[in-house]
Chain A
Amino acid sequence: MLRILLIDDTAKKVGRLKAALVQAGFEVIEESGLTIDLPARVETVHPDVVLIDTESPGRDVMEQVVLVSRDRPRPIVMFTDEHDPGVMRQAIQAGVSAYIVEGIQATRLQPILDVAMARFESDQALKAQLQARDQQLVERKRIELAKGLLMKMKDCNEEQAYTLMRRQAMSKQQKLIQVAEQIIAMSDLLG
């Protein structure tokens, strides 16, 4: 069952939406407290989806939730009773996965949330691929740096330096990058 954190901090009555969600079989946790607690609530509640009103006090709440959930991101779905494309575009840039228009029938909620989750997951996969590319470059540079330091320290060639580093890593059940970082740290220490 999907667990939904429903953020209710506007004057608008969320009664109908909440009822519709419950009726559709979702676990709904309503949050009507101060928005300042929101990051902590997202942490403790571990929602599958965060549902918030487009009119929620300023865009700051959105920004905050997106920032907070950066390490453990969750799809954010907005509910609204307006169809302003500008607001939507802004929200999508901020990481919102889908919209729910107020007054929607309970039976239509599941497919919308499914789409939101699927889109969110594919966004995450894409992000992971991009991060991997960056990380490879960083790791390769760090390993190269450590290799160079080791070649100087041990007066050995490139291949011998790689082999020394790999043997050290494997015998300690570590990754090569960990040993590279240790060599760089040691070299910093010894000046």
Chain B
Amino acid sequence: MPSANPLAWVHGSDAPEKPLLELGFMALTDCAPLVVAATQGFAQTYGLSLNLRRQSSWASLRDKLLNGQLDAAHSLYGLIYALQLGIDASGATDMAVLMGLNQNGQAINLSPALLRHGVTSGEALRRFVHQSRTKLTFAQTFPTGTHAMWLYYWLASHGIHPLHDVHSVVVPPAQMLAHLQAGRIDGFCVGEPWSAGAVEQAQGFTLATSQSIWPDHPEKVLGCTRAFVEQHPNTARALVMAVLAASRFIEQSCENRRNTAQLLSGKAYLDAPLTHIEPRLLGHYQDGLGNQWQDPHALHVHDDGRANLPYLSDGMWFMTQFRRWGLLRDDPDYLGVARAVQQRALYRDAATAIGVPCADTQMRSSQLIDGRHWDGSDPGAYARSFSLHALAEMPAALTRP
């Protein structure tokens, strides 16, 4: 809540260099911290006004971040790192992750047709893919985005090569359902509310949540160019304080989460029915196969700051997967790049100023769905250690150890 003396940040030498910010977001449940920060009086306290700008595609959000039409944005973790590494067409640009916006809360859905074929598990899908004469098509939301990485990781963990055994295509979230209904795609990996919405409309089922792939995985971040942080350090810190305070507020009570869902369903934000947003935001899952559960790793936007801390190992993981799937032809300087992108010092200042716990660790340790551990150590070896991959230049003898 309002900290001891927020005005000190506004009037002193720490006053934001730029008081009016243009913030980009995509119509997804995990944009909640930005919408709440901008509309519920969290920004004025720190001398900022936030203009929310809804974007129609990740590509346009990226372009506007680069040309300065947006100051900062709700971004896919992978999008920021792909820009940093110059993987996409726009060339390399120094980027910054100001803070994590959320963990968990994405999902892989399959079509009603696959359900009729009895394909309701990873094992059944593996058999179907290897026996069927036609290749299935799976959609994700951006070539270097998190949904592509969750889809690839999940498929590979079930013995399905995401780039050889199936077609992988990009479809904007809002069009997933239409393409599924038209039979142009057989499944998709997407952020909420689009997975819950498909289940709600009896258009297929949720085969796997992203948190079943990696409990408490990194997902969206508050991203901007490095130039923006360097030119506006006070603004960037004030922005993190405002968004962090909003994240904390959202998770302060069940009622706050419900109210957040109501706000998000508004026309200016997600413009989606409350029934598609609220249940999974509260952790109530049903998969469309008759299973219901309360998910302990549902969408977190705060988790006492654990969902917001920009761990180096989180950023590095996306680089290992880019390497694994051939998006990077050589090993980057994993640790060096992550140190430059993750704005840990700035985050620490902001978190400390508003009393959010901030652990001193740079790495965190996780176990993923295939039983493998990731803790940030030896990223190059980790990237090379998967049996299914697309490491382009890897000598054939080494591909199947």
Chain A residues at the B interface, C-beta cutoff of 8 Å: 128-129, 132-133, 135-136, 139-140, 143, 158-159, 162-163, 166-167, 169-177, 180
Contacts and interface: CB of A to CB of B under 8 A. Distances in A.
B47 interface: yes
B9 to A, nearest CB: 12
Interface string B228-269: 000000000000000000000100100110111011011110
11 contacts: A132-B20, A133-B47, A136-B19, A159-B1, A162-B2, A169-B263, A170-B39, A170-B256, A170-B263, A173-B262, A175-B39
A176 B39 contact: yes
Contacts of A180: 41
A143 B41 contact: yes
A167 B257 CA distance: 10
Given A166-B259, A167-B256, 15 more contacts: A129-B20, A133-B19, A139-B41, A140-B44, A163-B249, A163-B252, A167-B255, A170-B39, A170-B259, A170-B263, A171-B259, A173-B265, A173-B266, A173-B268, A176-B39
B212 interface: no
Nearest to B249: A166
B36 interface: yes
Contacts of B266: 173
Given A128-B20, A133-B19, A171-B259, A166 B41 contact: yes
B39 A136 contact: no
Contacts, number: 73
B286 interface: no
Contacts of A132: 19-20, 49
Interface string B33-63: 0001001110111011100000000000000
Nearest to B15: A133
Contact of B40 (A133, A135, A175): A175
Contacts of B265: 173
Contacts of B339: none
Contacts of A159: 1-2
B267 to A, nearest CB: 8
B33 to A, nearest CB: 13
B326 to A, nearest CB: 42
A129 B40 contact: no
Contacts of A171: 258-259, 262-263
B18 interface: yes
Contacts of B260: 170
B47 A167 contact: no
B39 A169 contact: yes
A170 B246 CA distance: 12
B360 to A, nearest CB: 28
Contacts of A170: 36, 39-40, 256, 259-260, 262-263
A154 B116 CA distance: 57
A162 B45 contact: no
Interface in B342-362: none
A175 B267 CA distance: 13
A169 B265 CA distance: 13
Given A135-B49, A136-B49, A159-B1, A169 B40 contact: yes
Contact of B2 (A128, A133, A158): A158
Query: Which of B41, B45, B252 has the most chain A CB within a 10 Å cutoff?
Result: B41
A159 B355 CA distance: 15
